[in-house]
Amino acid sequence: MRNSRSWVCKMPRGGWLGMMGLNEGKDSMVTISVVFQGNYRLLTGQGRVEIQLPQGSSVNDLIAYLADRYGGDLRDQLIDPGTGKVWSLMALAVNGKILNSVEKFSLILKTGDEVLFLPPALGG
């Protein structure tokens, strides 16, 4: 469900991994690289991970998957605990292109994509 500023992440039964099912073949999955910088790197303990998601998954699906996988403080950095919505000001880049607030959640990911989680910018 979407409003003008953010998306709501609804976790499927069994989490995002359960959504994949046991009968899914490799052809129905996409493999993407996720690069964590700044605080995201500290919270995950990793700089880069390879993730497999069901074909047709969006950036919003990736965010929900990462929140489920890492939980805790990373979840709070990705999803507003008060509303359950993805933080709309989160800075992301896919394949080197910084995404605006509208397209970053609905963009469908493809095999080989690189998603970069950028630290929040300070200042005004």
Q: Tens of pLDDT along 63-104?
A: 999 999 999 899 998 888 888 888 877 889 999 998 876 667
**Res 122: pLDDT:** 55
CATH topology of domain 28-118: Ubiquitin-like (UB roll) (3.10.20)
* Sheet strand arrangement including 97-98: 48-54, 29-36, 114-118, 91-94, 97-98
Higher pLDDT, 2 or 66: 66
Domain boundaries, the chain: 28-118
* Cα-trace Rg, the chain: 14
Residue 9: band (very low, low, confident or very high) from pLDDT cuts 50, 70, 90: very low
Amino acid at 8: V
